[in-house]
Amino acid sequence: MSAYRSVQTIKNISVIGTGTIGASWATYFLSRGFKVKAWDPGDEWKERILDFINKAWPQMNALGAKQEFQETNIELCSSLEDALSEVDFVQESAPEQLELKRSLFKKIDKYADNSTIISSSTSGLIMTEMQDGLEYASRFVVGHPFNPPHLIPLVEVVGGEKTDPSAVDWAINFYNKIGKHGIKINKEVPGHLANRLQAALWREAVLAVQNDLASVEDINAAVAMGPGLRWALMGPHMIMNLTGGTGGFRKMLDHFGPGIADWWETMNENPELDEALKQELIKGIKVEAKGRSIAQLEEERDAQLVELLKMLRRKKN
């Protein structure tokens, strides 16, 4: 394996797959001053990605984009080979289908320079399974963003069995250099880390509907108007550390730990996502949405995310 490029020298990035995640990634890379080459096998993808970027660009300006969006900074390629030619980094965001990823990875492995790190946005697939049979498997990593990637800083990085550990470190350093917050996942599990944490909370939220503990709207408020506000500032362990007051984490563990352990004993049920429960969840969401479309809800979410990110940046400074 030849030496990886210095993260300081990265100028040209390839975005493979331009659905919601890929288009969002392209927007972010462009806002950080990179040239982007994009490719997607779908129909009318070129119009969709440009529409996404133009709509998202005011958010990027609000967050300090390094340059104005110019279509000359993104090349919409007609072939995968073209999209992988003369690029320094690849962000792959194809659909979550193992065989599709395997087939795509073989082509990427063939066309991309073997010193180029290939990072997959997969939200739950295992890199070891995706990289099997590749000639240069050692440079393939998972670089899983949280949606939407052009706003949410988190990127989870994990390698497969054939991944060079230094490729994982390289990817984390690169993401951090461009303003993301890369974290290292030490072992492969389905869903990585953040999605598993999210799924665990959602399981309890679905059970609360199934068991008629509260309405869908009030369950959402229990998070968004309560612990979710704190979690936006500090993670769960640090928040629990503050729960112990001046005694810190030790006092919290000794004082509240036994009671929480008792709660855990009651959390051994999985919801039954049958049609009746699905309809109850859908009905609750419709009530809370109050007629707002998905596009309107996304716009509301993203506007609030921009304000939150601006506040968090002021806090760090």
Is there a domain that residue 130 lies in?
Answer: yes
Q: Are residues 178 and 70 in the same domain?
A: yes
Is there a domain that residue 189 lies in?
Answer: no
pLDDT at residue 1, rounded to an integer: 44
Is there a domain that residue 247 lies in?
Answer: yes
Q: Are residues 132 and 198 in the same domain?
A: no
Of 161, 184, 207, which residue is a domain's last?
184
Structure tokens at 285: 């969401």
Is there a domain that residue 2 lies in?
Answer: no
Of 184, 218, 235, which residue is a domain's last?
184
Q: Are residues 151 and 282 in the same domain?
A: no
Of 142, 166, 184, which residue is a domain's last?
184
Q: Are residues 207 and 178 in the same domain?
A: no
pLDDT tens digits for range 219-232: 999 999 999 999 99
Q: Which domain covers residue 68, as residue numbers?
A: 7-184
pLDDT tens digits for range 31-87: 999 999 999 999 999 999 999 999 999 999 999 999 899 999 999 999 999 999 999
Is there a domain that residue 214 lies in?
Answer: yes
55: Cβ contacts below 8 Å, ≥ 6 apart: none
Structure tokens at 297: 């809800």
Strand, coil or helix: 92: strand
Q: Are residues 12 and 111 in the same domain?
A: yes
DSSP 261-276: HHHHHT--------HH
Give, rounded to a whole angstrom, the gap between the first and last alpha carbons of the chain.
Answer: 40
- CATH code of 47's domain: 3.40.50.720
Is there a domain that residue 1 lies in?
Answer: no
Q: Any idea what DSSP says for residue 139? A: G
pLDDT at residue 317, rounded to an integer: 62
Q: What are residue 74's DSSP bridge partners? A: 36
Per the structure, the count of domains in the chain is: 2
Q: Are residues 15 and 73 in the same domain?
A: yes
- CATH code of 227's domain: 1.10.1040.10
| 101 close to 23: Cβ distance less than 8 angstroms | no
Q: Are residues 126 and 83 in the same domain?
A: yes
CA 110, chain centre distance (Å): 26
Is there a domain that residue 216 lies in?
Answer: yes
Q: Are residues 159 and 261 in the same domain?
A: no
- The one-letter code for the residue type at 172 is I
Structure tokens at 44: 């009318």
Q: Are residues 66 and 134 in the same domain?
A: yes
Residue with tokens 């059970």, as numbered in its chain: 207
Q: Are residues 149 and 268 in the same domain?
A: no
pLDDT at residue 3, rounded to an integer: 81
Q: Are residues 198 and 178 in the same domain?
A: no
Stretches where the chain sits below pLDDT 70 are 1-2, 316-317
Q: Are residues 301 and 160 in the same domain?
A: no
Is there a domain that residue 283 lies in?
Answer: yes
